[in-house]
């Protein structure tokens, strides 16, 4: 079950006053929407926009031992990027927008993602890195 207690949007732009539904460049067949991510999946977005990445983590306690053995780590999550993005990651400034959960519904195509078809005013914005 997805938890929408905390919904967020991440951006390099600290001045977004209102999120307006739009059709994403990367998925032009989608209807216009505003996307948000829940707190559990938020680390997927701690990267510069368009940065290619892959992430792995155990989804439940039964997977922890296999995850640690496979990745040879005690970390909770593993992220990998293309090496050409390393300098950009080192210099990016990211902001987390906190969004009210009420207008959002789960996006069936991706766990942890939420959508709404109405404009959303952020409740707060925080500089992260």
Distance in angstroms (rounded) separating the CA atoms of residues 65 and 73 = 10
Which regions of the chain does DSSP assign to beta strands (E)?
7-11, 34-38, 53-56, 78-81, 95-99, 105-106, 113-116, 124-127
In terms of phi and psi (left: phi > 0; alpha: psi -120 to 50; beta: otherwise), the region of 14 is alpha
pTM above 0.85, yes or no: yes
Closest CA to 75 of 89, 56, 91: 56
pLDDT of residue 5 exceeding 80: no
User: pLDDT tens across 85-128, in order?
Assistant: 999 999 999 999 999 999 999 998 888 999 999 999 999 999 99
User: pLDDT tens across 33-90, in order?
Assistant: 999 999 999 999 999 989 999 999 998 999 999 999 999 999 999 999 999 999 999 9
């Amino acid at each position: 079950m997805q938890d929408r207690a905390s919904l967020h949007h991440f951006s390099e732009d600290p001045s977004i006053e209102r999120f307006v539904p739009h059709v994403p460049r990367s998925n032009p067949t989608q209807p216009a929407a505003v996307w948000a991510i829940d707190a559990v999946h938020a680390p997927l977005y701690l990267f510069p926009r368009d940065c290619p990445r892959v992430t792995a983590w155990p989804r439940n306690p039964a997977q922890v031992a296999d995850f640690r053995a496979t990745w040879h780590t005690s970390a909770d999550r593993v992220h990998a990027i293309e090496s050409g993005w390393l300098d950009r990651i080192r210099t990016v400034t990211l902001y987390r927008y906190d969004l009210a959960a009420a207008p959002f519904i789960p996006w069936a195509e991706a766990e942890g993602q939420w959508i709404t078809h109405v404009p959303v005013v952020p409740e707060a914005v925080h500089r992260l890195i």
